[in-house]
Every structure is written in structure tokens, then in C-alpha cells.
Amino acid sequence: MLFLKKYLKWISTFLVLTGILLTNLNIYPLNIYFHGIGVVGWTISGFLLKDKAILTNFGLQIPLFVIGIYKIIF
């Protein structure tokens, strides 16, 4: 649990920023996967830290990424 609280935000930040970079470089669909995993990490972090602002911001992004991944698969 200590690992999650200590490093999850940093790993998730790296993944989100990588996803943004891949979007700017027009590398699709890899951008959705990196950014989406980072968003899930930030949502878990917000839940563990009981931070409602982080939980709301990133939690509401999850359905958007699910739609994007659904479009890729189907």
C-alpha cells in the first residue's frame, strides 16, 4: 500500500504525459492506452488519498477513454 501512495501519482503522471505526447505526434491508438492507464492510476490515487477533486477530474475521464477503446475494438 505504501508503494501505491508513494509512486502511483508519479507513474500515472508519466503515463498521462506520454499519452499527450503521443497524441501530439498523432500516434494512434497507443496514445489512448497510455493516457487511459494514467487516468485510471490517478483515479485510484484520488480514491486512496480521499481527494475528491482528483477523483472527480480523472474518474469522469474513464468513460471517455472506454468509448475511445470501444471504437478501436469494434
Question: Grid coordinates in use for 46?
Answer: 484520488
Query: Which residues are within 8 A (CB) of 33 and not within 5 positions of it... i.e. 6 or more apart?
Result: 19, 69
What average pLDDT does this structure show over 44-68? 94
Tell me how far apart the alpha carbons of residues 48 and 54 are, in angstroms, rounded to a whole number: 11
Model confidence pLDDT, tens digit, residues 21-50: 999 999 999 999 999 999 999 999 999 989
pLDDT class of 5 with cuts at 50, 70, 90: confident
Region at 51 (left for phi over 0; alpha for psi -120 to 50; beta for the rest): beta
Residues in the chain: 74
